[in-house]
Chain A
Amino acid sequence: MPKHNPLYQTMITAVSQTLENMVFIEVTEHFDRSYEIPTEDLAWNSLLVNDPVQGEVRLAMAKTLMKKLTGNIFGIDDDEITQAQMDDILNELLNTIVGLFMTNLLAHDQEYKMGLPELGAGELPEIDENTIVWKLMTDEEDALQIFATGASLVALKND
């Protein structure tokens, strides 16, 4: 496994722990770094980090994965799953991932402020030089991606 900088590794740990403990699936780095989730199968949301650094974190996954997670959590069949249930799961996951990520990045007990998750629509925003992308997949090879953007956010332990 390649050695990553602390920020990169902290996010992988946050995503792994969140998905393992909340929805009971394991996550690893995607074997194909060039893989992109097709737009027609894309679901994503975003959340602002306001303090002590500023930035945004986005979670993107295939709608098929979102449906699978929803069915598992609610114990229902595919045809009973609602869009609201899937959106709620995406938001809970991002909220928890960012909370864990910030807790582990910041010095002990340092407080942080973050906003509420907001659902995105259509294609993901363009990435710039202050964006870091994590390409991950579940043990069933369903893809998910995380983006952290914002100069002061990605500068945290990014050495």
Chain B
Amino acid sequence: MGKTVLIVDDSNTMRKIVSRSLRQAGIDFEQILEAGDGQEALDVLAANKVDVVLSDINMPNMTGLEFLKAKAEDDAIKDIPVIMISTETGADIIDEAKSYGAKGAIKKPFTPDLINETLGPLL
């Protein structure tokens, strides 16, 4: 059965770039869903079966870290793996994301190989 990915980023352009990179990486998702911030992402997760989430950190309304915290408190969705995507360099913020359940982080600009390497074990 095909997999579903949720891409969370406030930039529509970045969502399109990530989506295109997934195809370049040869990961054949049956469905690619999108959300513009953490709250929208929670709404999408509540309404759809999602296998993996790729999320930006800096977003308006609800940031990537706030999204992770809220997701961790919801038994229905807390086990869905999340990979953070960001230009952030600080080890602190990545460690904080991991403490809220993020399974890893990809730094922009990412190569198709890096996407494969990071997402592969989660699918």
- Name which residue of chain A comes closest to B14, CB basis: A92
- Name which residue of chain B comes closest to A70, CB basis: B13
Report B41 CB to chain A, min CB distance, Å: 19
Using Cβ atoms and an 8 Å threshold, which residues of chain A touch B87? 95-96, 99-100
Task: Say whether, besides A24-B24, A95-B87, A88 and B110 are in contact (CB < 8 Å).
Answer: no
The answer, yes or no, to whether A85 is at the interface (CB within 8 Å) is yes
- Find A21's partner among B11, B12, B90, B109 (CB 8 Å cutoff): B109
The answer, yes or no, to whether B111 is at the interface (CB within 8 Å) is yes
Q: How far is the CA of A96 from the CA of B11 in the complex (A)?
A: 13
Using Cβ atoms and an 8 Å threshold, which residues of chain A touch B111? 21
- Find A74's partner among B11, B16, B108 (CB 8 Å cutoff): B16
Instruction: Give the secondary structure class of A's interface.
Output: helix
Using Cβ atoms and an 8 Å threshold, which residues of chain A touch B14? 92
The answer, yes or no, to whether A145 is at the interface (CB within 8 Å) is no
Using Cβ atoms and an 8 Å threshold, which residues of chain B touch A100? 87, 108-109
The answer, yes or no, to whether A103 is at the interface (CB within 8 Å) is yes
Interface residues on A, range: 20 to 34
**Chain B positions 16 through 35: 1 when the CB is less than 8 Å from some CB of chain A, otherwise 0:** 11001100100000000000
Report A31 CB to chain B, min CB distance, Å: 25
Interface contact A18-B16, CB-CB below 8 Å: no
The answer, yes or no, to whether A124 is at the interface (CB within 8 Å) is no
Interface contact A17-B13, CB-CB below 8 Å: no
Using Cβ atoms and an 8 Å threshold, which residues of chain A touch B21? 21-22
Interface contact A21-B13, CB-CB below 8 Å: no
Using Cβ atoms and an 8 Å threshold, which residues of chain B touch A74? 13, 16
Interface contact B110-A21, CB-CB below 8 Å: yes
The answer, yes or no, to whether A127 is at the interface (CB within 8 Å) is no
Report A102 CB to chain B, min CB distance, Å: 7
Task: Say whether, besides A21-B21, A73-B17, A92-B11, A102 and B109 are in contact (CB < 8 Å).
Answer: no
A-B contact pairs, 9 of them (CB 8 A): A21-B111, A22-B109, A23-B17, A74-B13, A92-B11, A99-B108, A109-B89, A111-B89, A111-B90
Top 6 A-B pairs ranked by shortest CB distance? A99-B87, A21-B109, A88-B13, A18-B109, A96-B108, A111-B90
Given pairs A92-B11, A100-B109, A102-B89, 15 additional interface contacts (CB within 8 A): A17-B109, A18-B108, A18-B109, A21-B110, A24-B20, A73-B17, A85-B12, A89-B13, A92-B13, A92-B14, A92-B17, A100-B108, A109-B91, A111-B90, A112-B89
